[in-house]
Structure 1
Amino acid sequence: MGNFDIKDFKGVIPAVLTVFDKNENIDEVGMRQLISYLIEKGVDGLYLTGSTGEGFIMDSEERKRVVEIVIDEASGRVPIVVHVGAIGTKISIDLAKHAEAVGADGISSVPPFYWKFNENQIVKYYEDIANSCNLPMIVYNVPLAGLLGMNVIKRLASIDNVKGIKYTGMSHYEITQIKDEIGKDFLVYSGCDEMAMSGLLAGADGIIGSFYNIMPELFINIYNAISEKDIEKAQRLQRQAVEIILYSLKVPSFYAGMKAVLRWRGINAGYCRRPFENLTEEEEKEFKEGYKRIKETYKITGVEFLDEL
């Protein structure tokens, strides 16, 4: 078991990138450097081997190795939730048991995907994984795998070990609805980076996102502004985040773009695995120039990677 109660898994939580070298192998040194950087920046937790971590293009042993490296490097400094999602329940159970054995604080999973599983099959999938170990489960509601309706969420919340949901839908009134209808102790995490402020205002306990890898300080400032009820500041910072994100999404793989940004800063975040594309030298140069224009156009200050350009 881990070092933290799942109720400690709140605040600003990066969905962590996985560091691969140019030959697409896990880069342990780079992985450790990225984790230390994020923790030193003040993030409140880590979410591993999900979509941002390219979890679905790693085999089970690779996913386990990433978890082991991160837990060792984190050394109990922040709570860690491991995404164990797969199409097959057996694979997910194996990953969940491993996460428990090596000291994770919780597990999470997207619904089973590709085939159109019905509601009962989806509920049984979560029930089987949640009952396979003692770690709390965070359900993952995401459009890529198919959004779950309120009825399914309520059924999942009735499973003993299911303690919350990562909600990446944009209908944030449902965050309020979840809290009202399931209960305030059922944890909700807003997963849409462009709407972090909205998710927090709707009652989310924390925010989990991809772009926290490259600008954790911006989202920490948004979170703090909401906590201090400084809505005007939070709104200004969220607008800056949106402009940066919208520009970042223009490259073929924004994961590769984020890894390039971190490399500029001396943080070895490595490269993406195929079929994701990495930026060519010329594309990377153009990408950097575009960030400079964004910085100047929107008068953005206090975002460290932009300040350093």
Structure 2
Amino acid sequence: MSSINLQGIKGVIPAMMTCFDESGAFDEKRQRDLTRFLLSKNIDGLYLTGSTGETFLMSSDERKKVVEVVIDEVAHKIPVIVHVGDIGTDKSIDLARHAYKMGADAISSVPPFYFKFSSDEIVSYYQDISESVPLPMIVYNIALAGLVDFNTIKRLAKIENVKGIKYTATSHYEILRIKEEIGKDFMVYSGCDEMAMSGLAFGSDGIIGSFYNVIPELFIQIVQAERENDIKKARSLQISADAIIFFVLEHSFFASMKKMLSWIGHDAGFARKPFAPLTAEAEEDLRRGLKEIRDRYHITGVEVLENL
């Protein structure tokens, strides 16, 4: 049985990027700097070795090293959730046990992917991992790995240590259903950056996403506006955030976010192959486009946009 209360983990939680050097090796110095940068923004937690962390391009040992470095740098200042998902149950259990040993506050996992696993097999996967460590499990529902249906979510919620879900899907009406049919104490984390406002409005307890690495200020304000029931302000902030998100997505996603941080003195390194690097021409276009967005939407207080 989990000894940690997941209900204390709320708010803005970046799905943290993993830092690699020019040769593609994990870069501890850059990772520690990125951790300190995000802590300085008063975020509410970190989600490690997930999709944004390029986790499936890493070995298990590399994933463990990321966890060790970040948890050491965080030093219990904020909660840390470790994604342990993989295609094999034994691999995920090994990662879960390591996360527990290192002091993680919770674990998370995508469902087993590639093969078309049955609902029973998916439930068994989560059951086995959840029983391997006394940490709360957050199911990770994302189309990239295969969305689980609502009935399966309900079955998963009956597993003793499954305490929440990272809901990276656009069908936000199911967030309402989860809260009504499973229970208000079952934690829901909205995972679509471009729909953070919607996820919160539909009852999510927090938001976990990629762009919180580079523009956390906007999402911290969105959460605050939602808490104050200032829907007009939240909507305006989401419009600004979406303009940035959709523009950046026109470029090499991981390389662009890492490059943006380098502009403000926080070099997050390079994307790992086969992700493409950002060319000099693309970087110039990125700068020019983000400056235009900043000025058009009158965005202030976002560090990566201030000195374009």
TM over 0.5: yes
In structure 2, list runs of 5 or more residues that go unmatched.
Answer: none
Deviations 1:135-170 (A, max 9, x none): 110000001111111100000000000000000110
Contact 2:4 2:135 (8 Å CA) reproduced: no
Q: In the alignment, does 2:255 pair up with 1:256?
A: yes
Report the alpha carbon displacement of residue 5 of structure 1 after superposing the two structures with TM: 3.3
* Rounded Cα–Cα distance in structure 2 between residues aligned with 1:234 and 1:257: 26
Contact 2:3 2:135 (8 Å CA) reproduced: no
Report the alpha carbon displacement of residue 3 of structure 1 after superposing the two structures with TM: 10
Deviations 1:18-70 (A, max 9, x none): 00010111111110010111111010000000000000000000000000000
Map 1:1-309 to 2 at 5 A.
5-251=5-251, 253-309=252-308
* Rounded Cα–Cα distance in structure 1 between residues aligned with 2:70 and 2:32: 7
* Rounded Cα–Cα distance in structure 1 between residues aligned with 2:3 and 2:237: 33
Report the alpha carbon displacement of residue 307 of structure 1 after superposing the two structures with TM: 1.8
Deviations 1:183-236 (A, max 9, x none): 000000000000000000100000000000001111000000000111111010
* Rounded Cα–Cα distance in structure 1 between residues aligned with 2:25 and 2:258: 15
Residue identity over aligned pairs, in percent, reads 59
Equivalent position SS for 2:115: coil
Report the alpha carbon displacement of residue 299 of structure 1 after superposing the two structures with TM: 2.7
Farther-moved stretch of structure 1 (6-15 vs 61-70) = 6-15
Contact 2:135 2:161 (8 Å CA) reproduced: yes
Equivalent position SS for 1:188: strand
Q: Could you say what the CA RMSD is over the residues aligned between the two structures, in angstroms? A: 1.2
Contact 1:3 1:105 (8 Å CA) reproduced: no
Farther-moved stretch of structure 1 (143-152 vs 294-303) = 294-303
Report the alpha carbon displacement of residue 298 of structure 1 after superposing the two structures with TM: 2.6
Farther-moved stretch of structure 1 (298-307 vs 106-115) = 298-307
Equivalent position SS for 1:145: coil
* Rounded Cα–Cα distance in structure 2 between residues aligned with 1:218 and 1:188: 20
Question: What code does the residue aligned with 1:287 have?
Answer: L
* Rounded Cα–Cα distance in structure 1 between residues aligned with 2:5 and 2:177: 24
* Rounded Cα–Cα distance in structure 1 between residues aligned with 2:3 and 2:46: 13
Contact 1:3 1:79 (8 Å CA) reproduced: no
Farther-moved stretch of structure 1 (222-231 vs 281-290) = 281-290
Equivalent position SS for 1:131: helix
Question: What code does the residue aligned with 2:5 have?
Answer: D
In structure 1, list runs of 5 or more residues that go unmatched.
Answer: none
Classify 1:4/1:221 alpha carbon distance in 2 versus 1 (closer, same or farther; 3 Å).
farther
Farther-moved stretch of structure 1 (284-293 vs 172-181) = 284-293
Equivalent position SS for 1:114: coil
Report the alpha carbon displacement of residue 118 of structure 1 after superposing the two structures with TM: 0.8
Contact 1:193 1:210 (8 Å CA) reproduced: yes
Equivalent position SS for 1:189: strand
Moved runs in structure 1, 4+ residues, more than 3 A? 2-5
* Rounded Cα–Cα distance in structure 2 between residues aligned with 1:224 and 1:299: 19
Q: TM-score, normalised by structure 1?
A: 0.97
